Chain A
Amino acid sequence: MRKKRDEIGDGAEGLGPELGRLWASAPVPKAPSWFAARTMARLRREEDSRKSWFGMPKWVLIGTGLALLALGWFRWESQPTIRDAEVYAALNALVEEDRESRWWAGL
């Protein structure tokens, strides 16, 4: 029967008996006996490093800190500024008030 384009050939299903035997002669390494214990220890180390301060994730604390800093910065920037003219006007008003008081007191 003529082969169709899609048929790859006799190698398609595997290496074949002889090559397969050769391939199998090189053993696949097995995990060392401590592998599971070490992996679990690594998992705990990673989880601990993520939850380090006050049992909270680092990113939550860092994020909160940054948010507070940003809030402080914006509030500082948006507080009302006092111009020199306003200061002089206020001082003049005080002086004026003082003169009037003196006049009423007959001084």
Chain B
Amino acid sequence: MKLIVAYVKPFKLDEIKDALREVGVTGMSVGEIRGFGRQSGQTEVYRGAEYKVEFVPKTRIEVAVGDDDVERVVAAIETAARTGDIGDGKIIVLPIEEILRIRTGERGAEAI
């Protein structure tokens, strides 16, 4: 089991959600976060005063998947999230030690 964590442009969220549905993902968690990478922020201008805003809004998506689904899900996010411009984001894959569904007590792949 793996946890796939993707940091993406906020406006891409709907496309990514649809792409994940298509490859069979049934649940995900989403958070609005701020951060910077190579894009290193953006410039904003108020009454002629330029401000470098280092932290820009990003969306973090978390999806737990079985080992067999990892490549398909990562590919789906990659395709849906890409614009080709700087700031498209990152995808990280982490191992999961255990998952537990609270309502039923199921554990492991059953609980995904």
Q: Do A and B make up one complex? A: no
